[in-house]
Amino acid sequence: MQSDKGTIPLESAIFTFMFNISAFLAAATIYTRYKIVEKKNRTYCFSSPALNLVSFFLGLLGCIGMSIVASFQGLNVTVVHDAGALLAFVCGSIYTLLQSIIFYESCPQWNSLWMCHIRMIISAVCCAAVVLMIVCASLVSTTKLEWDPSEKDYVYHVVSAICEWTVAFSFIFYFLTFIQDFQLSKVLLLRGLHAIMYSSSKWIQKTLVLKFCHRISPCS
C-alpha cells in the first residue's frame, strides 16, 4: 500500500507532512475549479449550480480523508486509517466523475470534446479501480508490512495495492487536465482587470479635465 512505509517513525513524519501538503494543494485546486465554474455559469448557465456545489463538497471530503490517512498510521489505528482512505478514494472518484459531466456540459464553449473524453476515461478508470480496490481489500484478513507470496491473501493485497496506486495517479492526471482551463481563466481575469483599469483611468482623466476646465473658466 502507499501508506505502509508511513508507519515507520522517520518515514511516518515525512509521509504525514507531504500528504497533508498534498491534501491542502488538492483542496486549493478544487476550490479554484469551483469558483471558475461558478463564475462562468452565471454568464452562460451551462450547468446546474447544485452539481458544481455537490462536487465541490465531495472534493473537500476527499481532501479531509487524505489528511486522516496521513495523521493515522495504518498499523497503529487501522480502522480510522482505512476510513480516511475510503473517504478519500470514494469521494475523490465521484468528484472526478461529476466534474467530467460538468466539462461535457461546458463543451464546446470552454472545453474541447476530445479533452472531455480523456477526463471521462480517467474518471471511469478511477471509479473502477476504487471498486476493485475495496473488494480486494475487504478480502485481506490481516494488515502488515511484509508479505510472503505463498500467503493466501497475498494476491488480494497486491491487486488492492495496484488499484490504490492507479487511483492515486488518476487523481494526479485528472488535476493536470485543469491546467488549460486555469490558464484560460487567468487570461480572462487579466482582460477583466485591464478593462477595469482602463475604465478607471478614463474616468480619472475625465474628472481631472472637468476640474481643470472649471478652474480656468471665468466667474459668472
Provide the pLDDT for residue 192. 44
Torsion of CA 85, 72, 33, 165, to 10 degrees: -40
Tell me the three cell numbers of residue 166: 492507479
Tell me the three cell numbers of residue 38: 461558478
Average pLDDT on 196-220 reads 52
Secondary structure string (H, E, C) spanning 151-214: CCCHHHHHHHHHHHHHHHHHHHHHHHCHHHHHHHHHHHHHHHHHHHHHHHHHHHHHHHHHHHHH
pLDDT band at 79 (very low <50, low <70, confident <90, very high): confident
Distances (CA, A) of 111 to 26, 52, 182: 21, 16, 12
Q: How do residues 26-46 score in pLDDT, each as one tens digit?
A: 999 999 899 888 888 887 777
Q: Confirm if 129 and 170 have CB atoms less than 8 A apart.
A: yes
Provide the pLDDT for residue 46. 79
DSSP string, 1-48: -TTSGGGSHHHHHHHHHHHHHHHHHHHHHHHHHHHHHHHHHHHH--S-
Strands (E), 27-129: none
Residue of higher predicted confidence among 26 and 195: 26
Contacts of 154 (CB under 8 A, 6+ apart): 147, 148
Q: How do residues 82-116 score in pLDDT, each as one tens digit?
A: 899 999 999 999 999 999 999 998 887 777 889 99
Domain boundaries, the chain: 5-176
Distances (CA, A) of 138 to 24, 89, 133, 148, 156: 29, 15, 8, 19, 9
Strands (E), 64-168: none
Lowest mean pLDDT among 75-84, 101-110, 113-122, 144-153: 144-153
pTM of the model: 0.77
